[in-house]
Amino acid sequence: MSASPSTVCLSFDFDALSVWLEYGDNVSPNMLQRGEFGARVGVPRVLKLLKEHKLSATFFVPGHTADSFPEVTRTIVDAGHEVAHHTYAHIEPIGLTLDEERRDLERGLEALARFGVRPTGFRTGGQSSHTLALLEEYGFLYDSSFKGDDFHPYHPRIGDVVSRQQSLIKGRESKLWELPTQYEFDDWVHFNFNFSPYRNGTSAPSKVYEIWTTHARWMHEHEENGVLTVLMHPQVIGRAHGMDLLERFVQYCQSLNFQFRRMTDVASTLGA
């Protein structure tokens, strides 16, 4: 058994409408209503569960969400949960110039500042070659976008050179801590159905519960100071089957005496 306590970070990407805007002209009112479900129904359900179990969590909130649903965003802040940066409108920086990415980062910061929040964490789906250096420049403590580990924070590198013509040339380690995620621990992968583009998204909660608890148990038994980051979305996990799964997973981790911590609190104790 692990000699050190294991940690679970419950994180929620409160994307609301913004996640659907990437479909451009193909976005439909139906898609947007699914995003609004996250604000109207999903977040209150998640906050209620967290309060009942006396747990603190991390919410990655795009500026677009904060501006569109200020009352809901305020309930998250007032409940004492961490609010982290998730771009302004769920934009993947990989397609932006440096100036465009800087402006998007600043716009997101301005939106969260209206709630008295200065985020220390950042998450996005597709980083550019500029992203980590920008996060350093703006004083972020951690990122949670990569998958270079499963149970241990690490420092992602900046400036790697990768090609078929030569072996890896490593860049420098960033000052940021990476709190890695896993696709297996992303509720969107398991439960988000879509017609076009087609996504199945009809996993049984029992299947996902088996995957999640197996990872948690293995970390507990084999990894010193393991940290498991669960990535969820209020518009997905907030459905009945998702809430049942989340509560059962929380209870399983509690049975193993796991710590539940905000991601900023984990990163701030890691040192240099």
CATH numbers and ranges of domains, the chain: 7-268 (3.20.20.370)
For range 245-258, the mean pLDDT: 97
Q: Which pLDDT tens digit goes with each residue over 59-118?
A: 999 999 999 999 999 999 999 999 999 999 999 999 899 999 999 999 999 999 999 999
Residue 83 φ/ψ, nearest 5 degrees = -115, 125
- Residue 1 has a pLDDT of 42
Cβ contacts of 197 within 8 Å, gap of 6 or more = none
For the entire predicted model, the pTM comes to 0.95
Q: What is the dihedral of CA 141, 87, 123, 214, to 10 degrees?
A: 140
If you average pLDDT over every residue of the chain, what do you get? 94
- Tokens standing for 10? 């419950």
Q: Are 94 and 126 in contact (CB under 8 A)?
A: yes
Task: Report pLDDT digits (tens) over 173-189.
Answer: 999 999 999 999 999 99
Cβ-count burial of 219 within 10 angstroms (0-12 exposed, 13-18 middle, 19+ buried)? buried
Greatest mean pLDDT among 3-12, 195-204, 249-258 lies in: 249-258
